[in-house]
Amino acid sequence: GSTIGILGGGQLGRMLSVAASRLGYLTHIYEPGTAPAGQVCAALTQASYEDMSALQDFANAVDVITFEFENVPATALDLLAALRPIRPGTTALAISQDRLTEKTFLEGLGLTCAPFRDIGSLSALEAALTDLGTPAILKTRRMGYDGKGQVHIRTPGQAQTAYAEMQGQDAILEGYVAFEREVSVIAARGVTGEVVCFDPGENVHECGILYTTTVPATLTGAQRTDAALLAGRILNALEYVGVLGVELFVTSNGLIVNEIAPRVHNSGHWTQAGCAVDQFEQHIRAVAGLPLGDGRRHSDVVMENLIGDDMDRLPDLLATPDTQIHLYGKSEVRPGRKMGHVNRIVT
Ligand code: ATP
Ligand code: MG
Ligand code: MG
């Protein structure tokens, strides 16, 4: 096949598209929202995930389907999966759409997550706060990203206002993890089952949004091995094909899995400057059934997201040596909006 369908027209889809085009493939992007300016692709469909005939046309126009947006509704996925292979599969998607099913799945693999409780009512929240203690974080089960849909609870007395902020959405309460650092592992699995991991990156978040990723991360050899092994365990359990992001908390008691993302991941953008084959090419290789490539780190890199009016620094960044600039072509600058990123090659 030579046309790859991508669900989602944001920056991740755009960078996947560039990687696919470098390997000689066409891409066709399905984006229900407004198309971002400067999208690189053969065609861009603007229709909703409820529009069954548009979804059908999309599937018929491509050879294989992947996604950059994991919250595609199940009905749309079922329709698409009946027509074309979806990589990674619908199981990976369904599990990671819901924090409760995701954590249950991860614990079932023998991995450690932050302690959590299912919250369906205010009284469930009060009981969970007694159980897990404070501080704790209340998170919507679905659709959250960049720290959206999360409320930090510092004292049990904040239960009622925190619960009201969920606006009736299903939620989980997570115990607070006093981590030493945050790292992530970007891993890939090919159609024949081979698994490769990029070097773990160390992540700094501000207000719930990823700010920088630095490689190499400060980790012991044992922690590096653990990170790769747990990523492999997740990939194999899901019979996954493609790139997966695994966010981890490093603690004195070992690695705790924060969450997984069934796609290329912001904390893997450093691979564009640090590896011969970056996460986008690796994902396209997997989805297209090609052998996985050489993802070894050849350089130390600091990736920095350009968020909101960080864009004011663009003239300086354009004049900075050893700096690779990626802009997403978004016309409107908003606070907290990811506008681009830079990869600074350190050595
Ligand atoms: P993403 O954009 O990565 O999908 P998200 O909205 O799904 O983010 P999380 O990854 O759950 O949010 O949380 C964002 C950040 O908040 C984490 O990277 C971490 O810094 C902090 N955080 C989340 N959960 C916990 C926890 N249980 N204990 C301590 N810190 C936490
Ligand atoms: Mg998330
Ligand atoms: Mg996260």
pLDDT of residue 224: 97
For residue 136, give both structure tokens: 């704790």
Percent of the chain topping pLDDT 90: 88
The answer to whether the CB of 277 falls within 8 A of the CB of 285 is yes
Q: Kindly write down the DSSP assignment for every residue of 200-263, as one continuous string.
A: PEEEEEETTEEEEEEES-S--HHHHHHHHHHHHHHHHHTT--EEEEEEEEEETTEEEEEEEESS
Residue span(s) of the chain under CATH 3.30.470.20 come to 181-345
- The answer to the question of whether 149 is labelled as a binding residue is yes
Mutate to test the pocket of ligand 1, among 100, 177, 258 (most ligand atoms within 8 A of CB): 258
Contacts 24+ apart (CB under 8 A), 16-22: 16/66, 16/68, 16/264, 16/280, 16/283, 16/284, 17/41, 18/280, 19/278, 19/280, 19/281, 19/283, 19/284, 20/284, 20/288, 22/281
Whole-number Å distance, alpha carbon 321 to ligand 2 midpoint, is 33
Whole-number Å distance, alpha carbon 2 to ligand 2 midpoint, is 31
pLDDT in tens, 8-47: 989 999 999 999 999 999 999 998 876 655 566 666 777 8
Structure-model confidence comparison of residues 48 and 88, the more confident one: 88
Q: Which ligand is nearest to the CA of 137?
A: 1
pLDDT of residue 41: 63
For residue 331, give both structure tokens: 């016309």
Mean pLDDT of 293-309: 97
pLDDT of residue 286: 98
Residues enclosing ligand 1, CB less than 6 A? Answer: 114, 137, 144-148, 174, 176-177, 182, 205, 208, 247, 258-259
331 CB neighbour count, 10 Å cutoff: 8
Rounded CA gap, 253 and 227, in Å?
14
Structure-model confidence comparison of residues 39 and 198, the more confident one: 198
Mean pLDDT of 172-180: 97
Q: Which atom of ligand 1 is nearest to the CA of 178?
A: 29
> In a 10 Å sphere around its CB, with 0-12 CB exposed, 13-18 middle and 19+ buried, how is residue 237 labelled?
middle
Lowest mean pLDDT among 147-151, 212-216, 217-221, 317-321: 147-151
Whole-number Å distance, alpha carbon 235 to ligand 2 midpoint, is 18
Q: Which atom of ligand 1 is nearest to the CA of 175?
A: 27
Answer whether residue 267 shows pLDDT above 90: yes
- The answer to the question of whether 259 is labelled as a binding residue is yes
Q: Which ligand is nearest to the CA of 209?
A: 1
- The answer to the question of whether 150 is labelled as a binding residue is yes
* Mean of pLDDT over the chain: 94
pLDDT in tens, 225-254: 999 999 999 999 999 999 999 999 999 999
Q: Which atom of ligand 1 is nearest to the CA of 146?
A: 2
Write out the CATH class of domain 115-175: alpha beta
Mean pLDDT of 57-85: 94
CATH superfamily of this structure's domain 181-345: ATP-grasp fold, B domain (3.30.470.20)
Whole-number Å distance, alpha carbon 54 to ligand 3 midpoint, is 32
Q: What is the largest CA-CA distance in the chain?
A: 58
Rounded CA gap, 26 and 344, in Å?
30
Residue span(s) of the chain under CATH 3.40.50.20 come to 3-86
Q: What is the DSSP letter of 275?
A: B
Q: What is the DSSP letter of 342?
A: E
Whole-number Å distance, alpha carbon 267 to ligand 3 midpoint, is 10
Q: What is the DSSP letter of 86?
A: B
pLDDT of residue 208: 86
Mean pLDDT of 96-119: 97
Q: Which atom of ligand 1 is nearest to the CA of 145?
A: 6
pLDDT of residue 46: 74
Whole-number Å distance, alpha carbon 276 to ligand 3 midpoint, is 26
pLDDT of residue 43: 65
The pocket of ion ligand 2, defined by CB under 5 A, consists of 259
CATH topology of domain 3-86: Rossmann fold (3.40.50)
Residue span(s) of the chain under CATH 3.30.1490.20 come to 115-175
Q: Which atom of ligand 1 is nearest to the CA of 150?
A: 6
